[in-house]
Structures are given as structure tokens and as C-alpha cells.
Amino acid sequence: MSNKTKHLSVAAIQLNNTADIDHNVDATVNAVKQAAEQGAQLVVLQELHRSLYFCQVEDTDHFDLAESIPGPSTTLYGKLAAELGIVIVTSLFEKRAAGLYHNTAVVIESDGSIAGKYRKMHIPDDPGFYEKFYFTPGDLGFEPIQTSVGKLGVLVCWDQWFPEAARLMALAGADVLIYPTAIGWDPRDDNAEQQRQLDAWMISQRAHAVANGIPVISCNRVGHESDPSDQSEGIQFWGNSFITGPQGELLAHAPSDDTSTLAVELDLSHSEQVRRIWPYLRDRRIDHYQDLLKLYRD
């Protein structure tokens, strides 16, 4: 990003997916166009937005949803980005080779080219989120992607719980942290437990903004998706997509029960001002952090 460009209009699109892929794609494209009409220069899409969240079950047929990069989705969103003159952060099920798949975010430049990609590094394996069955952990590291609107620190969902990932993106010069996400409640959890989970999710990501002095864009899906195996009550994706400034201040916040397009203008010059007052990077004691390279201190 040039020194003169300090303001960035961004949008995060929160949608309710269905089993109809064409419907999902059409809804996403329409929402991107509407965001661009509102002035967005950067549009962020939710995790695996092309289909239902298929990781609720382990089923080899779901590998048919995967696609190559470049491929159909990058071609589609490349044309859309070029048509609108915007940068798009999209998310797809990447087929790298037969038997080798990733959960991958792709950044499309405003001329339609692929600016870069990020392969999800932290892969969960929990009831309803059987991602280790589908996704090989990423091998591209934590490298921001340079675009015409700045250096984007793109991470994906489960990555959002790990401060190390956010810090490494910030240390590499990211102007903003971006989290395409698919997270929700087990409908069997009571209201108090659901609130604790949602609060923890937002607190963690807002803390990444604070600790690194840069904005955060977190884009989740919304709506109920049934468990194809009928072994659970499915997932109620909790929406609540949000955008923060560099002190974790909420600039935009979506509802828990409806689709939404969040659109705000980020003042990137504010990040530098915040870092001057709160110089966490200056005061890091890297000479005493060796134990962070251990899995656990026994």
C-alpha cells in the first residue's frame, strides 16, 4: 500500500448456505456486487462459502467438492474482482493432488489475478468439525499477501484461537488480520454455554487486534445446517461477524440470526498511532521466548 493510501473501505459478507451450490454462488456474487456498490475496496467471504459445511461427517464423496487453484472458483471471482475493481478474499476446498487437499483462502487482486493463497495451518478434529479427515495442514506458513490495498494477514477459522498465528502475520508486516470462519453452536448447549463460547470467540480475536495494533475482519456464516448422519442436531452457525480497529474496538457487528454485509472504512494510519502509544513489538523479550518452540513444558 502506498504511503498516501491510509483509508480502506472493507466489507465482510455473512450468508446462510444451502445444499444448492448454484444458489450459494449466486447469493455470494450478488452480495459482493452490493458491497462494491457501497464502496468496498476489499471484500471478505466466509469459510467454505460454496457449499454446506460438509465436515460434520466423514464421507469420501465430499472430496468431489474440492477444486484446483487456479480453477472454477478462482476464475469466477477473478472475473468478478476485475469487473468491480476490488480485492476479494475467497475460501475454497483445494484439491492439490489426488488424496491431498487443503482448506485454502485465496486472495484475488483487483485485476482478477491471484495475489496469493493461505492454506489453513491449524486443523480441528472435534464432534461436528471433522476437518482432519479432509484437510492436510498448510505448508505456506504465516505470510501476509501483498495486494493493491495493503498486506493482508489471512488466516482461517481455527487459526483464530492461536495468538502465535496472529503475531507472526503482524511481524511480517500485515496491515490487517482476516479470518474467514465457519463456527457455531451445538443446539443442545444451553444459552449460558452458548454465550460463553461466543464471548470467548470475540474476545480472542479482539485481543489479536489489541496485541498487534492492527484491525481484524472476522467473517462467519449463519443459519442451521443439519447433520447428514443424524447423530447430532447439526450446527447452528452463530453469525456475529465483526470488524475491529487496532485497539479491538468494534466498528461493525452482524446479528446472530440473519445474513448481513458489514461495511466500514478502516483508518490504517490509526494503527501506527496506536503502536506508538502501545509499543508491544518494542518490548517483546525474544531472548526469553525459546520455550514457545516446545509443545509443552513438562
Q: Is 225 exposed, middle or buried (0-12, 13-18, 19+ CB in 10 A)?
A: buried
Q: Which of 55, 120, 131, 225 is catalytic?
A: 120
Grid coordinates given for 113 = 489475478
Q: Which of 47, 109, 131, 225 is catalytic?
A: 47
Selection from 104, 112, 122, 32 nearest residue 67 by Cα: 104
- The secondary structure of 107-166 as a DSSP string is EEPTTSSEEEEEE-----EETTEEGGGT-PPPSS-S--EEETTEEEEE--GGGGG-HHHH
Are 174 and 146 in contact by the 8 Å Cβ rule? The answer is no
- Bridge partners of 159? none
CA separation for the pair 46, 145 (Å, rounded): 18
Q: Is 120 a catalytic residue?
A: yes
Are 234 and 56 in contact by the 8 Å Cβ rule? The answer is yes
Q: Is 47 a catalytic residue?
A: yes
Q: Which of 109, 157, 219, 225 is catalytic?
A: 157
Are 24 and 49 in contact by the 8 Å Cβ rule? The answer is yes
Q: Is 157 a catalytic residue?
A: yes
Residues annotated as catalytic are 47, 120, 157
